[in-house]
Structure 1
Amino acid sequence: MSTSKKHALSDDESNAERTPIKHHLTPLELQKKQLDKLLEKIDKPVRIPERPTAKPINREPKDYVKNIQGSSAGAGSGDFHVYRAGRRREYARLKQMDEESKEEREQREYEEKIQAKKAEDEEKTEKNRNKRQRRKQRANNNRQNKKRADARSDDDDEGGSDKEDKEDKDDKDDKRSDQEGSDKEDR
């Protein structure tokens, strides 16, 4: 009985066995296979690796040096390729250092240019803001002066003589109080 269970295959396993395994897939079939695999577990998040920004050409220096020449050894014809490979690595290292310094300088210049442009824009914005506020203030003052002038003209039309009499009376009272204050100081 246990042997029959071992040999009995589930539906999934039987389907997997029936489909022939292809080793030489066309690009279209390969892409379809990859998409099918991704879509099997749709809830699982897919990690998409980021592309490296710049590959460092320079490798870490080796801990050991294999081709050591003694002081009495002459340069043989077999050592030229070793010299040339070392020279090529050194030139590549210098080129990379130059490129990095150039990129840093360009980045610094770009940042300075951006800062200068922002400062210029801010200055222009501030100037325009002040100009706008002065124009608004002038318009408000003109409106208020116009309202006052309209109110005075309305008062003059309705009998502005009462108002003028009141103002004259106030002026006389002020003069009297000033005279009384000066008389008290004299005493």
Structure 2
Amino acid sequence: MPQQQTSSPGQGQRFDWWAAPAAASASTASGRPNPGTRSAVTRPGRTVPTQPAPAVPAVPTVPAAAPTVPTPAPAAVPAAAPAGATDSTEVYRTVQASEAFQDIRRSYRSFVFPVSSAFLAWYLAYVAAQAAAPDLMRTPVAGPFNVAWLLGLLQFASTFLLTWLYARNARTKRDRAALGLRWDTQDQLR
């Protein structure tokens, strides 16, 4: 079975993959190499990149007799809001003020704030115990595990437990009401 040959760059082809495509197209479009871009010199069996030409700073040509005075930009004119934008803003404000939205928000806050406070207090108690009572934290519990290891692993367990509780709370108390409110809002926007 014949082997498939891979193509290699031939005479005059570019092989330097790191060169910018815009610079490559600019140098090949005119037929002359573009100064300041990398070009490749092809030798039999190998491609060797050449160094870019040193950049020559451009000297701006400004007439000496004509002083440049900046022209003030025209004042920005606020665009008129389309009629639909005012209606959607009013719809969202009405929804936000509705009793259903406030119930969803109250339910969210009544779960998240106490649970976040309890978890933060639990974490800070663990850190404070590490700093204030190192002898207590070194007390062995079972084999190589001490109180510090046990409390540290309980930090992970409590994180997963709180995540599960949050998802269950959202699913049972808020998701249906929020979805209903969303559909009502979408109907009002049509």
Q: Same fold (TM over 0.5)?
A: no
Please identify which structure carries the higher helix content.
1
Which structure has the larger Rg?
A: 1
Name the TM-score, length of structure 2 as normaliser.
0.23
Name the TM-score, length of structure 1 as normaliser.
0.23
Please identify which structure carries the higher strand content.
2
